[in-house]
C-alpha cells in the first residue's frame, strides 16, 4: 500500500478522495491550513468506516512555500485537490489566479523535486469548455482548452485554466510530463460526508431553500463525487501519465436538477423552483447578483463530455446524473444543512 499526500484534505472532494484511499488500504497525509479541525475530519471519515489511524495532517498553505517540501517527503504519490471555488465571483478577472496557479505550481514543483513519480492534479472541465463563438451542443474532448481571454470567462474559469496550463508547462520544461495526470471533473455533486459542503452543493442548497424563484437556462456535465474519488485512485497506477482525464457523465440543465430533487424529495418540493429565466433577464440580474455572474459563460452553449476514453483507460464508469443530484439533496437533509 502507498503513502499518499492529499492537499486540502478537509474539502468536499478531498474528503471523498481520502476516504477512498483509506478504504483501499493506503496511508494518507493530508494538508490543511490549520490542524485545529483535525478531530472533526477524522470523526467524519471514521463514521464512514475509514481507519483514521492511517491519516496524518500537516499544515501547508497554497499561498506560501513553507511546509511543502516536508509535506511531499517520502510519499509515493501526490493528489493535489485543493483549489479556491467561490460561489460568488470576485471583482477582478485574475483575482483567483495567484492562489490556484501558484499553489498548483508549489505542490507540483515540490513533488517533482522530491522524485514523486505520480502527481494527480484535480483541474476542472471549466479549463476545457469555454471560448468565443460556441453555441448549441459542444463536444468537450481531452484536447479542448478554454480561452481565458474570452470576455465572458469568470475569475474561477480563468484561474482553473491558467493553473492547469502552468502545471503542464512546468512538467514539459522539466521533461516530466509523464509524472502528471490531470483530472477534469464536471459539476461535482453526490453526497456530502458532513455539514462542511463545497460550492457545488451550495447550489443544491439554494434550490432546496427557495433562494431563487426561477433558474437560469444553463447546462452542466455532472459527475458524482464518489466516481470522481474512484478515478483519483485509478489514476495512481493506470497507464495515464501525461493525460487529461475528463470526469463526467450526462449533461443536464439546472431545471433538470430541480425536477429530480422535487421528484425524489416530495416533502421539499414546495421550495424548489422549476421555472426558467430568460437569458436576457439573467444577464440583467447578474449586474447586481454576484451568484448569477458565475453562470453567464454557460448561457452560450451546452457542453457534452466525451469521456468514453477515460472508462477504457481506467475502468471507471460514471453513474447517472440523477443519482448524484438526489444523493446531494438527501445528504444536505441528513447533515441538517437544509
Q: Kindly write down the DSSP assignment for every residue of 262-318, as one continuous string.
A: HHH-GGGGGG----B--HHHHHHHTTT-HHHHTTGGGGSEEEEE--HHHHHHH----
The predicted model gives 186-198 an average pLDDT of 96
Cell of 288: 447586481
Q: Where is pLDDT greater, at 89 or 128?
A: 128
> pLDDT band at 52, cuts 50/70/90?
very high
Residue 198 confidence (pLDDT): 86
Residue 250 confidence (pLDDT): 97
The predicted model gives 51-61 an average pLDDT of 96
Q: Phi, psi at residue 116, to the nearest 5°?
A: -70, 130
Least confident stretch, 154-158, 255-259, 265-269 = 154-158
> pLDDT band at 264, cuts 50/70/90?
very high
Residue 212 confidence (pLDDT): 87
Q: What is the pLDDT of residues 300-313, one digit of tens each?
A: 899 999 999 999 99
Residue 85 confidence (pLDDT): 65
According to DSSP, residue 217 is labeled S
Cell of 61: 498553505
Q: What is the pLDDT of residues 197-248, one digit of tens each?
A: 988 999 999 999 999 899 999 999 999 999 999 999 999 999 999 999 999 9
Separation between Cα atoms, residue 124 and residue 245, nearest integer Å: 10
Separation between Cα atoms, residue 52 and residue 22, nearest integer Å: 8
Q: Which CATH architecture has domain 3-195+221-251+305-320?
A: 3-Layer(aba) Sandwich (3.40)
Residues classed as catalytic: 160
> pLDDT band at 87, cuts 50/70/90?
low
Amino acid at each position: 500500500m502507498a503513502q499518499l499526500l492529499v492537499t486540502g484534505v478537509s474539502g468536499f472532494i478531498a474528503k471523498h478522495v481520502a476516504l477512498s484511499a483509506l478504504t483501499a488500504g493506503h496511508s494518507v497525509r493530508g494538508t490543511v491550513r490549520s490542524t485545529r479541525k483535525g478531530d472533526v475530519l477524522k470523526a467524519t471519515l471514521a463514521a464512514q468506516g475509514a481507519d483514521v489511524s492511517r491519516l496524518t495532517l500537516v499544515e501547508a498553505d497554497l499561498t506560501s512555500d513553507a511546509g511543502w517540501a516536508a509535506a511531499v517527503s517520502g510519499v509515493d504519490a501526490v493528489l493535489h485537490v485543493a483549489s479556491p471555488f467561490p460561489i460568488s465571483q470576485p471583482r477582478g478577472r485574475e483575482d483567483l489566479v495567484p492562489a490556484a496557479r501558484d499553489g498548483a505550481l508549489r505542490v507540483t514543483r515540490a513533488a517533482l523535486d522530491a522524485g514523486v513519480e505520480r502527481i494527480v492534479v484535480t483541474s476542472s472541465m471549466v479549463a476545457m469548455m469555454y471560448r468565443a463563438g460556441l453555441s448549441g451542443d459542444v463536444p468537450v474532448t481531452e484536447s479542448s482548452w478554454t480561452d481565458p481571454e474570452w470576455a465572458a470567462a469568470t475569475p474561477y474559469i480563468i484561474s482553473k485554466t491558467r493553473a492547469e496550463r502552468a502545471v503542464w508547462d512546468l512538467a514539459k520544461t522539466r521533461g516530466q510530463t509523464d509524472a502528471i495526470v490531470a483530472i477534469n471533473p464536471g459539476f461535482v455533486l453526490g453526497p456530502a460526508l458532513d455539514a462542511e459542503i463545497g460550492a457545488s452543493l451550495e447550489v443544491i442548497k439554494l434550490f432546496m431553500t427557495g433562494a431563487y424563484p426561477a433558474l437560469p437556462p444553463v447546462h452542466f456535465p455532472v459527475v458524482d463525487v464518489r466516481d470522481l474519488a474512484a478515478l483519483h485512485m485509478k489514476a495512481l497506477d493506470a497507464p495515464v501519465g501525461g493525460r487529461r482525464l475528463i470526469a463526467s457523465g450526462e449533461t443536464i440543465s439546472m431545471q433538470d436538477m430541480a425536477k429530480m430533487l422535487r421528484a425524489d424529495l416530495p416533502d421539499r418540493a414546495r421550495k424548489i423552483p422549476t421555472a426558467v429565466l430568460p437569458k436576457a433577464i439573467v444577464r440583467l440580474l447578474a449586474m447586481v447578483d454576484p451568484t448569477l455572474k458565475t453562470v453567464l459563460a454557460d448561457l452560450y452553449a451546452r457542453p457534452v463530455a466525451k469521456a468514453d476514453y477515460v472508462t477504457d483507460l481506467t475502468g471507471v464508469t460514471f453513474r447517472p446524473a440523477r443519482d448524484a443530484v438526489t444523493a446531494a439533496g438527501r445528504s444536505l437533509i441528513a447533515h441538517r444543512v437544509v
